[in-house]
C-alpha cells in the first residue's frame, strides 16, 4: 500500500504495520505533530476568547 492510498484509520494502521518498527514510530510521531500543529491555531484562538471574557 502506498501512503497516497490511505483513506481510513484502518488503512493507516495497516500501512504503519507494514513499515519497519523504527520507521513506523518516526512516521507516527510526525503524523501526531502535524495533527497538533493543525489544531493549535484553533485551540489558541479559543483560549484568547476565554481570556477576553
pLDDT, residue 34, reads 95
**CB distance 6 to 15 below 8 Å:** yes
Q: What number is the average pLDDT over the span 2-21?
A: 91
Question: How does pLDDT run across 14-31, given as a tens digit for each residue?
Answer: 999 999 999 999 999 999
Question: What does residue 6 show for φ and ψ, rounded to 5 degrees?
Answer: -75, 120
Specify the 3-state DSSP secondary structure of 19.
Answer: coil
Helices (H), 1-53: 9-17, 21-52
Q: How far apart are CA 37 and CA 35, in angstroms?
A: 5
What was the pLDDT predicted at 48?
83
Amino acid at each position: 500500500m502506498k501512503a497516497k492510498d490511505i483513506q481510513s484509520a484502518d488503512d493507516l494502521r495497516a500501512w504503519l504495520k507494514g513499515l519497519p518498527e523504527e520507521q513506523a514510530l518516526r512516521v507516527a510521531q510526525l503524523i501526531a505533530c502535524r495533527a497538533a500543529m493543525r489544531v493549535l491555531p484553533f485551540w489558541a484562538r479559543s483560549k484568547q476568547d476565554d481570556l477576553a471574557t
